[in-house]
Structure 1
Amino acid sequence: MALCLLLAPAAHAAEPTGRITGVGGIFFKSKDPKALMAWYRDVLGIKIEAWGGAAMTYDAPGHPPAVIVNAFRETSGYMNPSTREFMLNFAVDDLSAFLDRLKAKGVAVLKRDDSDPSGKFAWIIDPDGTKIELWEPKPEPAPK
């Protein structure tokens, strides 16, 4: 008596190795890296490690749903008034509270937009002139 097994094809084939799995870092030049990282620590509240940079892990509840990588046309004004070729985006848990903390430290908010379907946004400039986008992601719907 022969036993015959019928296997259904997998819904999603396993992806091959040798692929991008995520953003591993953001690196940029500064005239005074130590002072700039101190600003990120003292003003934005980013924990700076002994080696001089920050390690932001995503193993905590409430982390952003995705890390966005996107290119803009050279003529885009989205990063204005910064003249840098990049912009940073940091997710925050409560945009209003975070902006209150920044204003108390003398940081000017360029603009705020609560109308985007993906969440709330605000923009500031760091001491090197880099535009920073702050993003409070729209809450994910509760499971049914």
Structure 2
Amino acid sequence: MGVTGFGGLFFRARDPDALNLWYRTYLNIGAGCSTGDGPANEWYWQAQGGPTVFAPFKADTAYFAADKGFMINLRVTAIDSLIADLAAAGIAAETRLDWDSPETGRFARIHDPEGNAIEL
């Protein structure tokens, strides 16, 4: 097989520039951002390697909004600290005990300014 990983995520936005700035500001994602695993580059986000789940859901799933075709899931460190930083910026994070599991970790859900679900 020639595929070696995820090369990008592309999605429509009403205001791409504002949404790009939001992701860069609050989640350190986007062109010019780096997790420290390599130098920042003006064209892409230098992400840290690790497992990636690629999983289509049933069309009628209740796991994320019915009017959205996708949900972004991000690996994070220090989730409590990130949730506190987001709350300080006025970004609400939802947590539920039934989302957490010993095998995969703890989860929280936020939404970007255009209503796209982001699972942390």
Q: TM-score range by the shorter chain?
A: 0.7 to 0.9
Question: Match of 2:81?
Answer: 97
1:48–1:21: structure 2 CA closer, same or farther, 3 Å change rule?
closer
Structure with the higher fraction of residues in helix conformation: 2
Return the alpha-carbon distance in structure 2 between the equivalents of residues 66 and 86 of structure 1: 18
Q: Residue 122 in 1 paired to residue 108 in 2?
A: yes
Q: Does structure 1 retain, via aligned residues, the 8 Å contact 2:71–2:119?
A: yes
1:67: which partner in 2? 52
Aligned length: 109
Which consecutive residues of structure 1, in runs of 5 or more, have no partner in the other structure?
1-17, 135-144
Runs of 4+ in 1 over 2 A off after TM superposition: 45-51, 110-115
TM-score, normalization by structure 1? 0.68
Q: What is the TM-score with the length of structure 2 in the denominator?
A: 0.80
* CA RMSD, Structure 1 to Structure 2 (Å): 1.9
Q: Which moved more, 1:71-80 or 1:39-48?
A: 39-48
Using the aligned pairs only, state the percent identity. Answer: 35
State the structure with more CA Rg: 1
Q: Tell me how far apart the structure 1 counterparts of residues 28 and 10 of structure 2 sit (CA, whole Å).
A: 18
